[in-house]
Structure 1
Amino acid sequence: MRTFIVTTDFSDIAENAVEYAATGASIMDAKIILFNSFKLPLHASNTILSVENVQAMVNKNKLKLEDRAKDLMKRYGIEVEIESSLLNVEDEVERLIEQYNAEIVIMGMAQRSLEQDLLGNTTTNLIQKLKFPVLAVPLGVTFKPVKRILYACDVMRGIQKKILDRIKEIAQSWNAEIEVFNVQEKVTALQDEALHPSSMLKEEMDSIQYFYKNVASNAIIKEIKNEIVTYQPDVVIMVPNRYGFWASIVHRSKTRMMAAGLDVPLLSIPL
């Protein structure tokens, strides 16, 4: 059975992603692992609490998670297991992926803000750190069958066959079409047509319907968002670029920047 790791902190954004995942799981006959990384309330963490008091808070949170799982199982007819931890979110999600042999992590997508752009959030941090697909779902977006996929890529870094195979698999399972969208500061003509990205796409994606679109612009994020409005995809796919600490201060990941403030789910597929 297919397995999804779905995280929640019981906020509106996270709970919307839970509902999205549950609907998808009911259609795809998948199981959900509902995960909550419990954190002590600020007032409690600033005081000295007994072990009994801390355990009581943990038990109360776990009971809330159990009630949520029962509600999902009753309403959607799906299998739901729960996991709760006081440990680091990124480490725990990695452990759960391996433990349950999960295929994707589904999380809520935070709204856009200056703080999100500079510091990121739990979702964007997971996108950057996990070598695993993460689906970020915006608040208010409900699940619907995938018919249009926008793959926003950087052809100058190369289009990986591994990524194309994964995208093709998604498209074939939903009978969806794909638009491969590339933005470059300068469009450079290649003398050897065989090396052009469109040639590779033609060879690798001959069994599905796809389009290739190239735009010259130095406003990459803006152009991708404009294309989302034009193409109206059901999901946007991007491959996160990983930078070192100092480089990341200057070069914030395009995928991370996109994973806040969209109105369409963003699927991050790492190399």
Structure 2
Amino acid sequence: MRTFIVATDFSQIAENAVAYAAAGTSIVQGKLILFNAFKLPLHASNTILSVENVQHMVNKNKQALEQRAEELRKAYNIEVMVESTLLNTEEEIERLMTQYQAEMVIMGMAKRSIEQDLLGNTTTNIIQKLKFPVLAIPEGVTFKGVKKILYACDVVRGIHKTILDQIKEIAKNWNAEVEVFSVQQELAKLLEEPLHPVNQLKEDMEGIQYFYKNVESNAIIKEIRKEVLAYKPDLVIMVPNRYGFWASVVHRSKTRMMAAGLDVPLLSIPL
């Protein structure tokens, strides 16, 4: 059975992602793991609490999670399990992905802000740091199926077959078409290369409907956002580039930046 993990802190943004995940899981007849990383309230963390008081708050949070799971079971007729922890969110999600052999983690994404561009948030940090697929659901977006997929890639770095295989599987599962979209600064020169990566698409994408589009520009994020508006995909897929600590100070992940600025679900697939 296909398994998905969805994270919630009971906020409106997170609960929107929960509803999106549940709707999609019901269609593929999968299983949903409802996850919450419980944090002590600020006033409680600033005081000395007994073990019993802390456990009481943890139990109360777990009960709320169980109640939400029961609502999802009834509303979407799916299997829902719950996981709650006081531990680090990233470490726990990584553990749960392995434990349940889940396909991806689904998380809500707040609207873009200057603070998010500079510092990111829980979702963008997980996209950047952990090596598993993350589906970021923008605030207010509801599940309506997947008929059009935009794969925004960097052909200079290469179009990896493992990524194409995963995209192809997603497209087949939903009977969706795929646009492979790339933005390059020197397009004419690139197209002259005899081993242009687009040549492998015919073989690797055989069996699904797809097309390739390349744009010459040095404003990558801007061009991808323009293409999202023009193509109107139901899902955007990107592969995050990973940098070392000092490089990350000046190289903000394009995937992370896109995640915080889209009105379309973004699936990050790591290499």
Q: What is the TM-score normalised by the length of structure 2?
A: 0.98
Matched residue, 1:90 = 90
Matched residue, 2:168 = 168
* AA of the residue aligned to 1:2: R
Instruction: After superposition, give the CA deviation of every residue in 1:151-188 in whole Å (9 maximum; x if it has no partner).
Output: 00001111100000000111111111110000112212
* AA of the residue aligned to 1:139: E
1-structure distance, mates of 2:184, 2:34:
40
Q: Are 1:109 and 1:261, in contact at CA under 8 Å, matched by a contact in 2?
A: no
Matched residue, 2:14 = 14
* AA of the residue aligned to 2:8: T
Matched residue, 1:210 = 210
Q: Are 1:150 and 1:178, in contact at CA under 8 Å, matched by a contact in 2?
A: yes
2-structure distance, mates of 1:67, 1:261:
32
Matched residue, 1:119 = 119
Cα displacement (A) at 1:197:
2.2
Matched residue, 2:42 = 42
CA RMSD of aligned residues (A): 0.9
Q: Percent identity?
A: 75
Aligned residues: 270
Are the structure 2 counterparts of residues 189 and 83 from structure 1 closer, same or farther at C-alpha, using a change threshold of 3 Å?
closer
2-structure distance, mates of 1:246, 1:69:
42
Question: Secondary structure at the residue paired with 2:56?
Answer: helix
Matched residue, 2:138 = 138
Matched residue, 1:179 = 179
5+ residue gaps, structure 2, are none
Matched residue, 2:241 = 241
2-structure distance, mates of 1:260, 1:192:
34
Instruction: After superposition, give the CA deviation of every residue in 1:23-43 in whole Å (9 maximum; x if it has no partner).
Output: 011100010000000000111
Instruction: After superposition, give the CA deviation of every residue in 1:7-66 in whole Å (9 maximum; x if it has no partner).
Output: 000011100000000001110001000000000011111111111111111111111001
Instruction: After superposition, give the CA deviation of every residue in 1:207-236 in whole Å (9 maximum; x if it has no partner).
Output: 211111111111111110000000000000
2-structure distance, mates of 1:263, 1:189:
31
Cα displacement (A) at 1:191:
3.9
Q: Are 1:141 and 1:264, in contact at CA under 8 Å, matched by a contact in 2?
A: yes
Question: Secondary structure at the residue paired with 1:33?
Answer: strand
* AA of the residue aligned to 1:163: I
5+ residue gaps, structure 1, are none
Q: What is the TM-score normalised by the length of structure 1?
A: 0.98
